[in-house]
């Protein structure tokens, strides 16, 4: 064992029902080092770290600090051991100020908000954070909220920091700042774990990399002795040349014309800012952008789920007539005979009814069909069986609640249903997130199949490699605006990366 070892995890296993989230994992975190915990979505990184932060308890295995076995039963105990975790979903009380949030749970004698504010400001000055110590959290932007989270951990003097995908919501500038802070803390002798699936960040900031795959420990390597290709191999199990088949559709025509689409959220922030583009038949239009750039709002606005402030979405029917979709409810859209299918990001929260079986979920697209007040279950049941067979959905039966199925099977049910509606436009949001490689390819093939049937496919994705090989054109969103539309066959990753961030860069210059 190394001398500067801060925390060691040995043979950690954690199960959720049938699912083994972590299978006998060994991990060592050292002081003065940044450890990258690398793995695809659903590989068990967050679960593993949640056991260090006291959210979960391991079913098997032990955690050692300074050579002694410790039991972390609650987040409070985690802090006592100097472990602080910054979660992906911020744990902040919205009606509190940043300082109140930062001192929440601390026990250092009489509460003195003024003194605490001063200390918060001190930390902010030292690291260059920009937050107002007395501002209420509900008034803050996402990155400010993250800053509060980080200051919270620093305020508590944690010497082991765990950051769960901290850059997912940050602009490149903010990411740079964050990394600078991490380096400072490393120099300070702190142990840092950064959970990520972005290889460039791993290479940039980490000293060591531990790779997980499907809940299993794959290996730990020094960053200086490895390269992205090798890490990818460890992550996915074999070298990825994605090799997604991309045939050309012979006769593309305009299917949907979006012009000056503008959406504003409840707080008055522009989520989409005059977005214009055209989707064609027989084409996969990829949509790229850092998360929260308006992808969700775009798809929901088109499907009538998000209120549109301005602009138009014109759908061109096969007979050439046009339908204006803006202002129509999802129900109206269906009634006007617009064949639109939508695979939303939140599968169980939006696309499916978790407590119902496959049949009940097939019904979600067709429950209105048929005469009378009663539901007609025959057709959806047949469809459920068909989807189960064709997409290899593993379930005890068509009436088994889909909530209890694994992520991949849940997505197959959802995509299967949407494709079965024989849409003219198919929209998907993060369709392969959290899925294993095989299921991901199943989804790619299904989408390509749809494209060759003449469907206009909108594919919102986060993995640029996939976008580059799957899509025909790529629309890049940045801060709710269209940063550009590029030909996926000729563009480069760098070009897209630049477009994804260009708007923010401009903002900074002003």
Partner 1 sequence: MSAENRTPFVRLAKRTEMSRRNMWLIRIGSIVIALILGCLPMLLTGTNPISAYGVIIQGSVSRPVYLRQTIRTAIPLLGCALAIAPCFKMRFWNIGAEGQITMGAVFATYFALFWSGKIPHVALLIIMAVSGAIAGGIWALIPAFFKAKWNTNETLFTLMMNYIAIGIVAWLQGGPWEGRKGSQLIPMFSDEARLPDVLGVNCGWIIVLVLVVLMFIYMNKTKQGYEIAVIGDSVNTARYAGMNVGWIMMRTMFISGAISGLVGFIIVSGANYTLYSGVADGVGFTSITVAWLSQLNSFAMIAISMILAILEKGSNTLQTRMSVPASIADIITGILLFCMLSCEFFINYKLIFRHKGKEVNG
Partner 2 sequence: MTTLITLIVAAVTFGTVLMYGTLGEILTEKSGNLNLGVEGIMYMGGAFGLAGAFYYEKAAGAAASGPVAITLAILAAFAAGFAASAIYSFLTITLRANQNVTGLALSIFGTGIGQFVGEFMRVSEGGYVALSNHLKEAFSATIFPGFLINIPVIGRILFSHTVFFYLAIVVAILMFLFLKKTRYGMYLTAVGESPSTSDAAGINITKYKYLATTIGGGISAIGGMVYIMTTAGCVWNHEGLSGVGWLAVALVIFCMWRPLNAIWGSVLFGAMMIMYLRVSIPFIPTELYKILPYIVTVIVLVLTSMRNSRDKQPPASLGNNYFREER
- Residues near partner 2 (CB under 8 A): 53, 55-56, 74-79, 85, 87, 91-96, 100-101, 103-105, 107, 110-111, 136, 138
**Pick from 252, 270, 251, 254: nearest CA to 262:** 270
| End-to-end CA gap in the chain | 52
224 binds, among partner 2, partner 1, none (CB under 5 to 8 A by kind): none
Identified binder of partner 1 from the candidate list 84, 166, 344, 461, rule CB under 8 A: 344
State phi, psi for 391 to the nearest 5 degrees. Answer: -105, 10
107 binds, among partner 1, partner 2, none (CB under 5 to 8 A by kind): partner 2
338 binds, among partner 2, partner 1, none (CB under 5 to 8 A by kind): none
Tell me the per-residue interface mask from 400 to 439 with partner 1, x by CB under 8 A, - otherwise. ----x-----------------------------------
Residue 71 is a binding residue for partner 1 (CB under 8 A) = yes
> Closest approach of Cβ 398 to partner 1, in Å?
16
Contact of 37 with 49, CB cutoff 8 Å: yes
CA distances from 301 to 54, 169, 292, 468 (A): 40, 22, 15, 25
For partner 1, the closer of residues 311 and 380 by Cβ is 380
The SS3 call for residue 295 is helix
Of 22-30, 211-219, 359-367, 473-481: span binding partner 1 (CB under 8 A)? 359-367
Give 387's DSSP letter.
Answer: H
How many Å apart are CA 476 and CA 123, to the nearest integer?
Answer: 36
Q: Which positions from 289 through 318 interact with partner 1, judged by CB under 8 A?
A: 303, 305
For partner 1, the closer of residues 375 and 382 by Cβ is 375
Give 248's DSSP letter.
Answer: P
Contact of 454 with 282, CB cutoff 8 Å: yes
503 binds, among partner 2, partner 1, none (CB under 5 to 8 A by kind): none
Identified binder of partner 1 from the candidate list 2, 4, 26, 60, rule CB under 8 A: 60
Identified binder of partner 1 from the candidate list 375, 382, 394, 505, rule CB under 8 A: 375
> Closest approach of Cβ 268 to partner 2, in Å?
12
Identified binder of partner 1 from the candidate list 329, 399, 438, 445, rule CB under 8 A: 329
For partner 2, the closer of residues 111 and 248 by Cβ is 111
Of 36-44, 257-265, 372-380, 478-486: span binding partner 1 (CB under 8 A)? 372-380
Q: Which residue has the tokens 């260059």?
A: 128
Q: What is the gyration radius of the CA atoms in the chain, in angstroms?
A: 24
353 binds, among partner 2, partner 1, none (CB under 5 to 8 A by kind): partner 1
CA distances from 422 to 69, 262, 408, 449, 456 (A): 58, 29, 22, 12, 12
350 binds, among partner 2, partner 1, none (CB under 5 to 8 A by kind): partner 1
111 binds, among partner 1, partner 2, none (CB under 5 to 8 A by kind): partner 2
The SS3 call for residue 324 is strand
Number of residues that bind partner 1 (CB under 8 A): 38
**Pick from 434, 436, 496: nearest CA to 471:** 496
How many Å is the maximal CA-CA distance in the chain?
75
How many Å apart are CA 58 and CA 64, to the nearest integer?
Answer: 13
313 bridge partner residues? 258
């Amino acid at each position: 064992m190394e001398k500067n070892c801060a925390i060691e995890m040995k043979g950690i296993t954690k199960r959720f029902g049938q699912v083994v989230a972590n299978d006998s994992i060994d991990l060592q975190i050292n002081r003065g080092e940044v450890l990258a915990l690398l793995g695809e979505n659903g590989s068990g990184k967050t679960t593993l770290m949640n056991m260090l932060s006291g959210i979960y308890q391991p079913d098997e295995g032990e955690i050692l600090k300074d050579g002694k076995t410790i039991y972390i039963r609650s987040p409070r105990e985690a802090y006592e051991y100097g472990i602080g975790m910054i979660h992906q979903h911020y744990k902040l009380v919205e009606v509190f100020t940043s300082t109140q949030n930062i001192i929440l749970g601390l026990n250092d004698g009489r509460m003195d908000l003024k003194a605490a504010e001063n200390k918060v400001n001190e930390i902010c000055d030292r690291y260059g954070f920009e937050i107002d110590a007395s501002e209420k959290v509900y008034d803050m932007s996402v990155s400010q909220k993250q800053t509060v989270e980080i200051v919270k951990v620093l305020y508590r003097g944690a010497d082991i920091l765990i950051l769960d995908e901290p850059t997912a919501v940050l602009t490149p500038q903010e990411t740079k700042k964050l990394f600078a802070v991490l380096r400072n803390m490393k120099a300070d002798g702190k142990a840092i774990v950064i959970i990520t699936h972005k290889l460039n960040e791993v290479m940039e900031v980490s000293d060591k990399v531990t790779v997980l795959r499907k809940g299993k420990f794959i290996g730990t390597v020094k960053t200086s002795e490895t390269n992205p290709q090798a890490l990818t191999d460890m992550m996915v199990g074999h070298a990825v040349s994605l090799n997604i088949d991309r045939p050309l559709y012979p006769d593309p025509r305009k299917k949907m014309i979006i012009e000056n689409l503008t959406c504003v959220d409840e707080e008055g922030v522009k989520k989409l800012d005059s977005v214009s583009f055209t989707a064609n038949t027989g084409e996969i239009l990829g949509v790229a952008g850092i998360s929260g750039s308006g992808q969700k709002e775009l798809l929901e606005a088109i499907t009538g789920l998000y209120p549109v402030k301005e602009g138009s979405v014109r759908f061109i029917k096969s007979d050439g007539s046009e339908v204006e979709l803006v202002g129509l409810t999802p129900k109206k859209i269906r009634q006007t005979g617009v064949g639109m299918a939508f695979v939303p990001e939140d599968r169980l929260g939006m696309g499916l009814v978790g407590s119902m079986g496959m049949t009940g979920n097939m019904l979600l697209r067709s429950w209105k069909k048929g005469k009378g007040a009663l539901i007609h279950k025959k057709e959806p049941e047949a469809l459920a069986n068909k989807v189960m067979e064709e997409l290899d959905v593993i379930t005890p039966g068509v009436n088994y609640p889909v909530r209890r199925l694994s992520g991949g099977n849940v997505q197959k049910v959802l995509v299967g249903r949407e494709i079965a509606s024989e849409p003219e436009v198919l929209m998907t949001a993060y369709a392969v997130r959290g899925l294993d490689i095989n299921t991901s390819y199943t989804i790619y093939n299904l989408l390509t199949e749809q494209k060759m049937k003449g469907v206009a496919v909108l594919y919102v994705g986060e993995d640029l490699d996939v976008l580059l090989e799957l899509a025909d054109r790529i629309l890049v969103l940045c801060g709710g605006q269209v940063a550009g539309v590029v030909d996926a066959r000729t563009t480069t990753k760098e070009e897209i990366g630049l477009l994804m961030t260009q708007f923010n860069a401009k903002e900074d210059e002003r």
